[in-house]
Every structure is written in C-alpha cells, then in structure tokens.
Amino acid sequence: MKIKLHEPTFGEAEIQAAVEVLRSTNVTSGDKVREFEAKFGQHAVMCNSGSSANLLAVAALCNPLTPNRLIPGDEVIVSALSWATTIWPLVQYGLVPVIVDIDPETLNMDPQEAVKAIGPRTKAIMPVHVYGNPCDKAINNLGLIVISDCCEALAADIEQSDFNTYSFYFSHHITTLEGGMVTCKTVEHADMLRTLRAHGWTREQENRQHYEGIDDKFLFVNAGYNLRSTELNAAIGLVQFDKLAGFVERRRTAAKYLGKQFAYYNLSIQKDMGSSWFGFPVIVNEKVSARALRDHFEADGIETRSIICGNIARQPGMQLWPHRVVGDLHHSDHVMKNGFSLPCHQDIGYDECNYMINSLNVFMDNHA
C-alpha cells in the first residue's frame, strides 16, 4: 500500500466549474472571487496564496494610512515552530521577529513564553495554529495586535483576531490549487487589504474614494502588489468549500484512531484542542530514533515529513535578519530533532490507519 501525505481533494465537479469559467472568458478576479469571499463571512479578502495572505496582513499593519501603524524596529512575537512565510513578511517590512518556544503538548506558541517576550518595542504577535490545532486564546488577550496564521487550520475553532490568514494550497484541507484568504474585523482594514492586493487602486474598496478629475477605475491611493486570485481559483473553491466539513470529519476520525495506538508506545501526539488535523504529528522519545522510524515508514510506502520547518531560529536564512530569541527553545529543538508528520487527510480510512499501525508495530517489535 502507498499512503501519501496528501491526496487530491478535487474531482470532476471542480474541473467542470473551472471549464465553465474558461468558456465564459471572464477569468480575472470578479464575481466568483467575491462569492467565495462571502463564504467566509464579512471582511474576507481572497488572494493568490496563504503566503500572500500573511504578506497582505503585515503590509496593511505597516502602511502609512493605518492608524498606529507598525514601523521598522517594532517587534512581533512569533512561535519557533512555524513556517518561513510567517516570518519573511515581518523582516521584509523591517520588523523584528521575537522567537518564543512552544507548549510541547499542543505544539503551539506557549502563552507564558509570549508574556516573557514582551518588551518596550513589542507591538504585535503572530501565532501559528500548528497542524490545525487552535492556539490558546490567552494569546489574544495580551494587549497586542494579533495576526493569526491559520494557513494549516481551516475549519478549526479559532476566533477572529485583528487578521486571520488562510491557505488553499493543493495539500491543504481544501484547495483552489493556489490561493489564500485574509479575514479581519473592520471594513477599513478590508479596504486596505483590497487596495494593497491590487496595485494600490480603489476599484475594489467597499467604501470607495473619489478624486475630481481622476477616473475611478484607475485611481491609485497607495503602493500595492498584484496578489489577486482568479475566477478559476474561486470557482474551484466554491465547490470545495461545500465539502470541507466532510473532509475535516474524516481527518478527525483518522487522527483519533491513530492516536490510541501511538499513545500505547508512549509516542507523543499533539493534544487535540479542537484541531482540524492538517496532518498527524508524532514526537518520539529518546529511546527511539525518529530518522529510523521515518525510514521504516517510507520503506513501507508511508510518506512522512518534518513538522512545518522545525525550529525557525535554526534555519540559515533567519541568521540574515535582526531577530530576538527568548529562552533556549528546547521544546522546539526537540520537535525538530524527534518529530515528524504522518498522513492524515480526507482519504485516510481504517484500512490506511491499520496499515500504518501495523507498520509501527513491526518497528517497535524490532526495537524494543
């Protein structure tokens, strides 16, 4: 049996939706994008990736037109266990990441470590909801601006922060092939996101501005990018969104079933805080080699991967930019050395779970 980290979530219905858009010739960002945004509720702005969603949120907070904006040198608390494009928008805007350790049970940012990290220049915090597991809500009550990186946590129980970011990459809970979303609390923030998403113009603002003598369709009031999605992406997303609840329920069923067996061998798994289970993370104890166990699974046709990118503070690229580290980050180091993820997606059923469990049993019998 071959068990991949992910199997495609889309099929004929999504293909037909994309073909219909192509036949319409209305392919650039338009009505389908707005309809997909509406699925997420008020103040949702679609873009071309989860990475772009993070960039847009940071760009909005740093913009000269944003009241009490972030400025170069301001600090943003981040989790050591995170992804590169959580961090890069911060350094690209001259902000200083302050890296803190995780709670080893949830794999999310430890709120107590976050409190220790607050200094005179600390203005914001950017928690990552690791592998779909919601962060401790205490993080939203530290008096800081909050950007919640929810790119791995679609459909998890996460409250709205100042900005929440989501990803619809191919391997995520649902896909638009490439795509992302930012949600926020106010129309002012949403309009800023729409302006920055598309060249700095006002065309897509809800509360559009007007200047005498300038065509409203080509009115530029800010610097911006081109981070728009297309109608094809949104059309696929509209079909996918209706499947989301079923996909997540299957992930949760598989994770619960796998968890019982892995706990039998005292292998740590992520404490479930209402997770949508982006994957099934495993942390081995010191008596077992994570590399040996991963090699065993791979030999049995079971794909594995590192948990996110491990401890971001240990990545070479991080050394190029000003940052601050609080504590020794030993929990994140432990995950980087001894952790990995197994498949847990919508196509993992009992047969696949039992195959992974039997593979684990063979390994443990030979390494007892």
* Strand ranges for the chain from DSSP E: 44-47, 75-79, 96-100, 122-126, 145-149, 163-167, 180-184, 268-269, 280-283, 324-325, 339-342
Burial of 147 (0-12, 13-18, 19+ CB in 10 A): buried
172 is catalytic: yes
Contact 165, 154 (CB under 8 A): no
Q: How many CB atoms lie under 10 A from the CB of residue 200?
A: 15
Closest CA to 196 of 309, 336, 292, 58: 58
| CA–CA dist 218, 203 (Å, integer) | 7
- Using alpha carbons only, how large is the chain's radius of gyration in Å? 21
Q: Count Cα atoms within 13 angstroms, Cβ side, for 75.
A: 17
The residue annotated as part of the active site, out of 6, 43, 129, 172, is 172
- List the end-to-end C-alpha distance of the chain, in Å, as a whole number: 25
- Cα angle 281-285-291, degrees, rounded to a multiple of 5: 65
CA atoms of 215 and 222, how far apart (whole Å): 16
Structure tokens at 225: 């990018």
Residues forming the active site: 172
